[in-house]
Amino acid sequence: MDKKISVSQIKEAAREAYEMFKTNTDGKNADYIPYLANIDKNLFGISICLMDGTLIQLGDSEYRFGIESVSKVHTAILALRQYGAEKLLQMIGADATGLPFNSIMAILLEKDHPSTPLVNAGAITADSMVQPIGDSAKKWDAIVANITDLCGSAPQLIDELYKSESATNFNNRSIAWLLKNYNRIYDDPDMSLDLYTRQCSLGITATQLSVCGATIANDGLNPVSKKQIFDGSLSPKITSLIATVGFYEHTGDWLYTSGIPAKTGVGGGVMGVMPGLFGISAFAPPIDSAGNSVKAQLAIKYIMNKLGLSIFNGDRVTITE
Protein backbone atom coordinates (compact mmCIF):
# COMPACT_ATOMS: atom_id res chain seq x y z
CA MET A 1 0.00 0.00 0.00
CA ASP A 2 1.16 3.55 -0.73
CA LYS A 3 1.25 5.63 2.42
CA LYS A 4 2.17 9.23 3.14
CA ILE A 5 3.25 10.61 6.48
CA SER A 6 4.25 14.20 7.17
CA VAL A 7 7.25 15.56 9.03
CA SER A 8 4.86 17.18 11.51
CA GLN A 9 3.22 13.80 12.22
CA ILE A 10 6.66 12.37 13.02
CA LYS A 11 7.46 15.37 15.26
CA GLU A 12 4.13 15.00 17.05
CA ALA A 13 4.63 11.26 17.65
CA ALA A 14 8.14 11.90 19.02
CA ARG A 15 6.87 14.66 21.32
CA GLU A 16 4.08 12.45 22.64
CA ALA A 17 6.54 9.61 23.28
CA TYR A 18 8.89 11.95 25.11
CA GLU A 19 6.13 13.39 27.33
CA MET A 20 4.57 10.01 27.98
CA PHE A 21 7.71 8.19 29.12
CA LYS A 22 9.95 10.86 30.63
CA THR A 23 8.77 10.12 34.15
CA ASN A 24 8.93 6.32 33.77
CA THR A 25 11.14 4.83 36.51
CA ASP A 26 11.37 1.19 35.41
CA GLY A 27 14.74 -0.51 34.93
CA LYS A 28 18.09 0.08 36.58
CA ASN A 29 21.39 1.57 35.42
CA ALA A 30 23.99 -1.06 34.43
CA ASP A 31 26.07 -1.63 37.56
CA TYR A 32 28.61 -4.26 36.45
CA ILE A 33 30.54 -1.33 34.95
CA PRO A 34 30.95 1.04 37.94
CA TYR A 35 30.97 4.26 35.86
CA LEU A 36 27.54 3.52 34.36
CA ALA A 37 25.93 2.93 37.76
CA ASN A 38 26.49 6.61 38.63
CA ILE A 39 25.01 8.27 35.53
CA ASP A 40 21.89 10.41 36.15
CA LYS A 41 19.04 7.94 35.66
CA ASN A 42 16.60 10.66 34.61
CA LEU A 43 18.42 11.58 31.40
CA PHE A 44 16.20 10.97 28.37
CA GLY A 45 16.67 12.00 24.76
CA ILE A 46 15.21 11.14 21.38
CA SER A 47 16.53 12.01 17.92
CA ILE A 48 15.28 11.18 14.43
CA CYS A 49 17.25 11.90 11.27
CA LEU A 50 15.36 11.90 7.97
CA MET A 51 16.86 11.11 4.56
CA ASP A 52 17.22 14.82 3.71
CA GLY A 53 19.22 15.41 6.92
CA THR A 54 16.31 16.97 8.86
CA LEU A 55 16.77 16.32 12.59
CA ILE A 56 13.94 16.00 15.11
CA GLN A 57 15.40 16.24 18.62
CA LEU A 58 13.86 16.04 22.08
CA GLY A 59 15.22 16.17 25.63
CA ASP A 60 18.83 15.16 26.26
CA SER A 61 19.61 14.34 22.64
CA GLU A 62 22.98 16.13 22.89
CA TYR A 63 24.14 14.40 26.09
CA ARG A 64 27.28 12.27 25.59
CA PHE A 65 26.78 8.78 26.99
CA GLY A 66 28.76 5.54 26.68
CA ILE A 67 28.06 4.06 23.24
CA GLU A 68 28.79 0.53 24.55
CA SER A 69 27.33 -2.23 22.36
CA VAL A 70 25.82 0.11 19.80
CA SER A 71 29.45 0.46 18.64
CA LYS A 72 29.33 -3.19 17.55
CA VAL A 73 27.35 -2.01 14.53
CA HIS A 74 30.03 0.52 13.63
CA THR A 75 32.84 -2.03 13.84
CA ALA A 76 30.80 -4.55 11.85
CA ILE A 77 30.48 -1.86 9.16
CA LEU A 78 34.24 -1.24 9.27
CA ALA A 79 34.90 -4.97 8.84
CA LEU A 80 32.39 -5.02 5.96
CA ARG A 81 34.10 -2.01 4.37
CA GLN A 82 37.52 -3.65 4.66
CA TYR A 83 36.61 -7.29 3.87
CA GLY A 84 33.22 -7.33 2.10
CA ALA A 85 29.98 -9.19 2.90
CA GLU A 86 31.10 -12.72 2.00
CA LYS A 87 34.25 -12.69 4.14
CA LEU A 88 32.40 -11.26 7.15
CA LEU A 89 30.02 -14.21 6.97
CA GLN A 90 32.92 -16.69 6.82
CA MET A 91 35.10 -15.03 9.45
CA ILE A 92 32.39 -14.11 12.01
CA GLY A 93 28.89 -15.21 10.93
CA ALA A 94 25.46 -13.57 10.84
CA ASP A 95 23.37 -15.75 13.16
CA ALA A 96 21.32 -15.00 16.24
CA THR A 97 22.64 -16.54 19.43
CA GLY A 98 19.40 -16.29 21.44
CA LEU A 99 21.66 -15.79 24.45
CA PRO A 100 22.91 -12.81 26.48
CA PHE A 101 25.41 -10.41 24.85
CA ASN A 102 28.36 -11.68 26.90
CA SER A 103 27.60 -15.38 26.61
CA ILE A 104 30.50 -17.81 26.72
CA MET A 105 28.05 -20.68 26.18
CA ALA A 106 27.19 -19.24 22.74
CA ILE A 107 30.85 -19.63 21.70
CA LEU A 108 31.06 -23.17 23.06
CA LEU A 109 27.88 -24.15 21.21
CA GLU A 110 29.04 -22.71 17.89
CA LYS A 111 32.76 -23.54 18.01
CA ASP A 112 33.31 -22.80 14.34
CA HIS A 113 32.46 -19.07 14.39
CA PRO A 114 31.41 -16.37 16.88
CA SER A 115 27.85 -16.16 15.38
CA THR A 116 27.53 -12.41 14.73
CA PRO A 117 29.57 -9.22 15.08
CA LEU A 118 26.78 -7.80 17.27
CA VAL A 119 27.51 -9.81 20.44
CA ASN A 120 30.65 -9.42 22.54
CA ALA A 121 32.46 -12.40 20.99
CA GLY A 122 31.87 -11.35 17.38
CA ALA A 123 32.64 -7.71 18.14
CA ILE A 124 36.02 -8.65 19.65
CA THR A 125 36.65 -10.75 16.52
CA ALA A 126 35.63 -7.78 14.32
CA ASP A 127 38.14 -5.59 16.16
CA SER A 128 40.80 -8.23 15.60
CA MET A 129 40.06 -8.01 11.85
CA VAL A 130 40.43 -4.22 11.60
CA GLN A 131 43.34 -3.33 9.34
CA PRO A 132 46.23 -2.75 9.58
CA ILE A 133 46.76 -6.01 11.52
CA GLY A 134 49.29 -5.73 14.33
CA ASP A 135 49.15 -1.94 14.71
CA SER A 136 46.95 -0.99 17.66
CA ALA A 137 47.28 2.80 17.16
CA LYS A 138 46.37 2.70 13.47
CA LYS A 139 43.54 0.25 14.11
CA TRP A 140 42.14 2.63 16.74
CA ASP A 141 42.37 5.54 14.30
CA ALA A 142 40.44 3.51 11.72
CA ILE A 143 37.74 2.63 14.30
CA VAL A 144 37.26 6.26 15.33
CA ALA A 145 37.38 7.58 11.75
CA ASN A 146 34.69 5.07 10.74
CA ILE A 147 32.39 6.12 13.62
CA THR A 148 33.00 9.78 12.73
CA ASP A 149 32.08 9.10 9.08
CA LEU A 150 28.90 7.25 10.06
CA CYS A 151 27.73 9.77 12.65
CA GLY A 152 28.85 12.88 10.75
CA SER A 153 30.88 14.10 13.76
CA ALA A 154 33.47 12.63 16.10
CA PRO A 155 32.83 10.55 19.24
CA GLN A 156 34.88 11.38 22.35
CA LEU A 157 36.52 8.86 24.63
CA ILE A 158 35.12 8.91 28.18
CA ASP A 159 38.38 8.12 29.93
CA GLU A 160 36.77 7.29 33.27
CA LEU A 161 34.46 4.77 31.58
CA TYR A 162 37.39 3.19 29.73
CA LYS A 163 39.31 2.77 33.01
CA SER A 164 36.22 1.50 34.83
CA GLU A 165 35.46 -1.07 32.14
CA SER A 166 39.08 -2.18 31.64
CA ALA A 167 39.40 -2.88 35.36
CA THR A 168 36.30 -5.09 35.47
CA ASN A 169 36.08 -6.86 32.07
CA PHE A 170 37.09 -10.34 33.23
CA ASN A 171 34.30 -12.11 31.34
CA ASN A 172 35.35 -10.43 28.10
CA ARG A 173 38.96 -11.47 28.71
CA SER A 174 37.77 -15.09 28.82
CA ILE A 175 35.84 -14.56 25.58
CA ALA A 176 38.90 -13.16 23.76
CA TRP A 177 41.09 -16.11 24.72
CA LEU A 178 38.37 -18.70 24.09
CA LEU A 179 38.02 -17.28 20.58
CA LYS A 180 41.77 -17.58 20.18
CA ASN A 181 41.39 -21.26 21.08
CA TYR A 182 39.01 -21.65 18.10
CA ASN A 183 41.28 -19.62 15.75
CA ARG A 184 38.66 -16.88 15.58
CA ILE A 185 40.87 -14.00 16.68
CA TYR A 186 42.80 -12.61 13.75
CA ASP A 187 45.21 -10.38 15.70
CA ASP A 188 46.58 -10.29 19.23
CA PRO A 189 43.71 -11.25 21.64
CA ASP A 190 44.63 -8.73 24.35
CA MET A 191 44.96 -5.94 21.80
CA SER A 192 41.63 -6.86 20.21
CA LEU A 193 39.94 -6.87 23.62
CA ASP A 194 41.47 -3.49 24.49
CA LEU A 195 40.21 -1.96 21.23
CA TYR A 196 36.75 -3.37 21.94
CA THR A 197 36.73 -2.01 25.50
CA ARG A 198 37.92 1.41 24.31
CA GLN A 199 35.33 1.66 21.53
CA CYS A 200 32.58 0.78 24.03
CA SER A 201 33.83 3.69 26.18
CA LEU A 202 33.35 6.30 23.47
CA GLY A 203 30.92 9.07 24.33
CA ILE A 204 28.20 9.57 21.72
CA THR A 205 24.89 11.44 21.55
CA ALA A 206 21.44 10.28 20.49
CA THR A 207 21.67 12.82 17.68
CA GLN A 208 24.88 11.23 16.38
CA LEU A 209 23.37 7.73 16.55
CA SER A 210 20.28 8.89 14.65
CA VAL A 211 22.57 10.19 11.88
CA CYS A 212 24.39 6.84 11.81
CA GLY A 213 21.04 4.99 11.63
CA ALA A 214 20.00 7.31 8.81
CA THR A 215 23.26 6.63 6.94
CA ILE A 216 22.51 2.90 7.08
CA ALA A 217 18.89 3.57 6.05
CA ASN A 218 20.15 5.74 3.17
CA ASP A 219 22.36 3.13 1.44
CA GLY A 220 25.57 4.42 3.01
CA LEU A 221 25.10 8.08 2.09
CA ASN A 222 25.32 10.20 5.25
CA PRO A 223 22.33 12.58 4.91
CA VAL A 224 23.98 15.27 7.04
CA SER A 225 27.57 15.32 5.71
CA LYS A 226 26.37 14.20 2.24
CA LYS A 227 29.38 11.84 2.07
CA GLN A 228 29.06 8.29 0.70
CA ILE A 229 30.48 6.24 3.61
CA PHE A 230 30.09 2.68 2.35
CA ASP A 231 28.86 0.83 -0.70
CA GLY A 232 25.04 0.83 -0.83
CA SER A 233 24.96 -2.95 -1.32
CA LEU A 234 26.14 -3.33 2.30
CA SER A 235 23.07 -1.60 3.79
CA PRO A 236 20.73 -4.62 3.74
CA LYS A 237 23.54 -6.76 5.18
CA ILE A 238 24.01 -4.34 8.10
CA THR A 239 20.28 -4.00 8.71
CA SER A 240 19.85 -7.79 8.65
CA LEU A 241 22.57 -8.19 11.29
CA ILE A 242 20.82 -5.60 13.47
CA ALA A 243 17.38 -7.17 12.95
CA THR A 244 18.68 -10.64 13.86
CA VAL A 245 20.30 -9.92 17.21
CA GLY A 246 20.00 -6.21 18.09
CA PHE A 247 18.20 -6.92 21.39
CA TYR A 248 20.01 -10.21 22.14
CA GLU A 249 17.63 -12.75 23.70
CA HIS A 250 14.73 -10.26 23.39
CA THR A 251 15.20 -9.57 19.68
CA GLY A 252 12.09 -11.40 18.50
CA ASP A 253 9.85 -9.64 21.01
CA TRP A 254 11.37 -6.34 19.97
CA LEU A 255 10.81 -6.81 16.24
CA TYR A 256 7.32 -8.18 16.79
CA THR A 257 6.26 -5.18 18.86
CA SER A 258 8.22 -2.34 17.23
CA GLY A 259 8.68 -3.30 13.58
CA ILE A 260 12.13 -1.70 13.38
CA PRO A 261 15.63 -3.25 13.46
CA ALA A 262 17.56 -1.59 16.29
CA LYS A 263 20.72 -2.08 18.33
CA THR A 264 21.12 -1.38 22.03
CA GLY A 265 23.94 -0.68 24.47
CA VAL A 266 24.14 -0.94 28.27
CA GLY A 267 24.92 2.80 28.37
CA GLY A 268 21.20 3.28 27.61
CA GLY A 269 21.40 4.03 23.89
CA VAL A 270 19.30 2.45 21.16
CA MET A 271 19.84 3.04 17.42
CA GLY A 272 17.13 2.06 14.93
CA VAL A 273 17.20 1.83 11.14
CA MET A 274 14.05 2.32 9.06
CA PRO A 275 15.32 1.62 5.51
CA GLY A 276 14.68 4.48 3.09
CA LEU A 277 12.95 6.61 5.73
CA PHE A 278 15.00 7.51 8.79
CA GLY A 279 17.43 6.67 11.55
CA ILE A 280 16.11 6.96 15.10
CA SER A 281 17.85 6.93 18.44
CA ALA A 282 16.68 7.19 22.02
CA PHE A 283 18.77 7.28 25.17
CA ALA A 284 17.91 6.70 28.85
CA PRO A 285 20.26 4.90 31.30
CA PRO A 286 17.96 2.44 33.15
CA ILE A 287 18.04 -0.95 31.39
CA ASP A 288 16.11 -4.22 31.60
CA SER A 289 17.43 -7.71 32.38
CA ALA A 290 18.82 -8.16 28.83
CA GLY A 291 20.72 -4.85 28.98
CA ASN A 292 18.31 -2.82 26.86
CA SER A 293 17.16 0.71 27.81
CA VAL A 294 13.59 0.63 29.10
CA LYS A 295 12.54 4.17 28.16
CA ALA A 296 14.32 4.12 24.80
CA GLN A 297 12.40 0.94 23.90
CA LEU A 298 9.07 2.42 24.97
CA ALA A 299 9.70 5.64 23.04
CA ILE A 300 10.77 4.05 19.75
CA LYS A 301 7.98 1.48 19.91
CA TYR A 302 5.41 4.20 20.54
CA ILE A 303 6.62 6.29 17.60
CA MET A 304 6.63 3.33 15.19
CA ASN A 305 3.17 2.17 16.21
CA LYS A 306 1.68 5.65 16.27
CA LEU A 307 2.91 6.24 12.70
CA GLY A 308 1.81 2.74 11.61
CA LEU A 309 5.31 1.92 10.36
CA SER A 310 6.99 -1.50 10.16
CA ILE A 311 9.62 -3.03 7.91
CA PHE A 312 7.32 -6.04 7.65
CA ASN A 313 4.11 -4.48 6.33
CA GLY A 314 5.17 -3.88 2.73
CA ASP A 315 3.98 -0.26 2.69
CA ARG A 316 5.63 2.13 0.27
CA VAL A 317 5.99 5.13 2.54
CA THR A 318 6.71 8.70 1.46
CA ILE A 319 7.52 11.43 3.96
CA THR A 320 5.93 14.75 2.97
CA GLU A 321 6.60 18.29 4.25
The one-letter amino acid at 8: S
The residues in 129-168 that bind ligand GLN, with binding defined as CB under 6 A, are: 165
Rounded-to-integer distance, Cα 43 and Cα 63, Å:
8
Closer to ligand GLN at the Cβ: 265 or 279? 265
Contact residue for ligand GLN among 102, 146, 215, 235 (CB under 6 A): 102
Q: Is 69 flagged in the annotation as binding?
A: yes
Asked if 265 is part of the footprint of ligand GLN (rule: CB under 6 A), the reply reads yes
Q: Is 186 flagged in the annotation as binding?
A: no
Using alpha carbons, select from 184, 163, 186 the residue that is nearest to residue 175: 184
Nearer to ligand GLN, 102 or 128 (CB): 102
Nearer to ligand GLN, 61 or 102 (CB): 102
Q: Which of 49, 77, 107, 200 binds ligand GLN (CB under 6 A)?
A: 200
Give the pairing of strands 278-283 and 269-274: antiparallel
Q: How far is the CB of 246 from ligand GLN (least distance, A)?
A: 11
Using the minimum distance from each CB to ligand GLN, give the nearer residue, 146 or 222: 146
- Cα separation, 190 vs 192, in Å, equals 5
- As measured in angstroms, the least distance from the Cβ of 72 to ligand GLN is 8
Question: Closest distance between ligand GLN and the C-beta of residue 165, in Å?
Answer: 6
Nearer to ligand GLN, 101 or 278 (CB): 101
In this chain, which of 107, 158, 266, 319 binds ligand GLN, going by CB under 6 A?
A: 266
Least distance from ligand GLN to the Cβ atom of residue 123, Å: 8
Closer Cβ to ligand GLN, 8 or 289, answer by number: 289
H-helix segments, the chain: 7-21, 34-37, 71-83, 85-91, 105-110, 120-129, 136-151, 159-166, 170-181, 189-200, 206-217, 235-245, 251-258, 294-307
Asked if 280 and 309 count as a contact pair (C-beta separation under 8 A), the reply is no
Give the total residue count for the chain: 321
Rounded alpha-carbon distances, angstroms, from residue 155 to 30, 45, 64, 203, 276: 21, 17, 9, 6, 25
Using CB under 6 A, pick the residue from 103, 120, 235, 239 that binds ligand GLN: 120
Q: Which of 8, 43, 13 is nearest to 302 (CA)?
A: 13
Distance CA 192, CA 121 (A): 11
Instruction: Give CA–CA dist 172/277, Å, rounded.
Output: 36
Write out the binding residues for ligand GLN, residues 47-86 only, by CB under 6 A.
68-69
Residues that bind ligand GLN (CB under 6 A): 68-69, 101-102, 120, 165, 172, 200, 265-266, 291
Residues making up the annotated binding site for substrate are 69, 120, 165, 172, 196, 248, 266
